[in-house]
Amino acid sequence: MGTRSRSRIEWVADHCALLSQITDEFRQTRPFDGLTIGTGIHLEPKTVALLMTLRAGGAEVIASGNLSSTQPDSVEYLRAAGVRVEAEQTTDPARHTALLRRVLEAQPDLLLDNGGDLFALYLEAPYPGLRGGTEETTSGRMRLEPLREQLSMPILVINDSPIKQFGENRHAVGQSMFETYMRLTNRSTNGKRVTVFGYGPCGEGVATCFRHAFAQVSVCEADPVRRLEAHLDGFMTPATDAAIASADIIVTETGAVDVLTADHLGLIKDGAILLNGGHFPSEIDFAGMAGSAEVEQRDEFENGALTTLRLKDGRRLTIAAAGHMANLAGPRPLGNSIEAMDFGFALQARCLERIATGGTDASDCVVPVPRDIDEGVANAYLDLRSG
């Protein structure tokens, strides 16, 4: 019996059942022949499977990443496979923007965006021939909605698919943020007080997973209807200041800016651990907190995966990944589960196929995934699982 060594990228590819099925189909149908797809999305093993699926459909792919999450092994694999990659592991917004501009310099026909970065930069220097593309996140949708009139092209928002909402956001984000807390801190959750900011699908999933791990969970939500939902789901919904002051663990899942800032330092409990699960590193104002006059010392652990701020009054608080998306940071960053990303990336592939083959128009600008694509992906997954 022989033994061979295989990579985590290959493990992921072996278990992306939907993408594997679409890849086989695309090799025959070639929906992207003659087209270039520019991407700005987390470069990690699951994304590699998506980009190789697009390549199987005939696309020339030019890939970049997102702040803090680019994994060198994935970059090396893609380059060895002939994919042009303009990405590196950086937390510098200026450097990240420069890499995205390189993608747009190639004037791709389609864009696969994550956070609205590529489409926003495109508007600064439009070029002829861009057919449209996809946006992965709610953060990106919020950013692009006011720009609909300027964009005037089909842009399908993956995160507005119900499959993405429950399959990835509620289930997988909850699991991965809980796993991240355990992986980075090696601390228990039993009996701990956890405050989750935001009760959209991601926040709901996070709150549920920590509750299942025997934590006492509070939810802070600006929308009174969602706050009522959290209450009826059995979570405590105290006032914001009280929720911060009582928390051993705080997780932000809002898509907003400055959820936690230096102004909150006086409230935060000694020993509290803060994690951001939102796409942009803006929910926790890490720079403002770390630079506060109240901070006496800053301790870095695991190459910045954990930063402990020691305050003049003796309290300590720890921030994961300098406020960047915690579940794609630190040692062995795994992100969301393979199955959940397989859902989302199947939606990506089908939406890009729809745009490439002329099934959309300018009226489909920053809109949800078409219902028939949702139904097709759901049926395909259920058929695979029932076989």
pLDDT digits (tens, 9 = 90+) for 282-311: 999 999 999 999 999 999 998 889 999 999
pLDDT of residue 17: 95
**Statement to judge: residues 143 and 44 lie in one domain:** yes
**Statement to judge: residues 47 and 65 lie in one domain:** yes
Structural domain contains residue 2 = no
- Average pLDDT (326-346) is 91
- Average pLDDT (186-193) is 97
**Statement to judge: residues 153 and 16 lie in one domain:** yes
- Average pLDDT (270-276) is 98
Residue 119 structure tokens: 């489409």
Least confident among 29-38, 64-73, 79-88? 64-73
Q: Is it the case that residue 204 has pLDDT exceeding 90?
A: yes
C-beta of residue 333 within 8 angstroms of C-beta of residue 327: yes
pLDDT of residue 387: 59
Structural domain contains residue 249 = yes
**Statement to judge: residues 132 and 228 lie in one domain:** no
Q: Which residues pair with 64 in a beta bridge?
A: 40
Residue % of the chain over a pLDDT of 90: 89
**Statement to judge: residues 151 and 28 lie in one domain:** yes
Q: Is it the case that residue 269 has pLDDT exceeding 90?
A: yes
Residue 124 structure tokens: 């600064």
**Statement to judge: residues 182 and 156 lie in one domain:** no
Banded model confidence at residue 279, pLDDT cuts 50, 70, 90: confident
**Statement to judge: residues 151 and 234 lie in one domain:** no
Banded model confidence at residue 5, pLDDT cuts 50, 70, 90: confident
**Statement to judge: residues 191 and 251 lie in one domain:** yes
Q: How would you write the chain as a 3-class SS string?
A: CCCCCCCHHHHHHHHCHHHHHHHHHHHHHCCCCCCEEEEECCCCHHHHHHHHHHHHCCCEEEEECCCCCCCHHHHHHHHHCCCEECCCCCCCHHHHHHHHHHHHHCCCCEEEECCCHHHHHHHHCCCCCCCEEEECCHHHHHHHHHHHHHHCCCEEEHHHCHHHHHHHHHHHHHHHHHHHHHHHHCCCCCCCEEEEECCCHHHHHHHHHHHHCCCEEEEECCCHHHHHHHHHCCCECCCHHHHHHHCCEEEECCCCCCCECHHHCCCCCCCEEEEECCCCCCCECHHHHHCCCCEEEEEEECCCCEEEEEECCCCEEEEEHHHCEHHHCCCCCCCCCHHHHHHHHHHHHHHHHHHHCCCCCHHHEEEECCHHHHHHHHHHHHHHHHC
pLDDT greater at residue 373 or residue 138: 373
CATH number at residue 71: 3.40.50.1480
C-beta of residue 181 within 8 angstroms of C-beta of residue 275: yes
Based on the structure, what is the number of domains in the chain? 2
- Average pLDDT (344-348) is 96
Least confident among 151-165, 234-248, 327-341? 327-341
Q: Is it the case that residue 48 has pLDDT exceeding 90?
A: yes
- Average pLDDT (193-209) is 97
Q: What residues make up the domain containing 203?
A: 169-324
Of 289, 324, 359, which closes a domain? 324
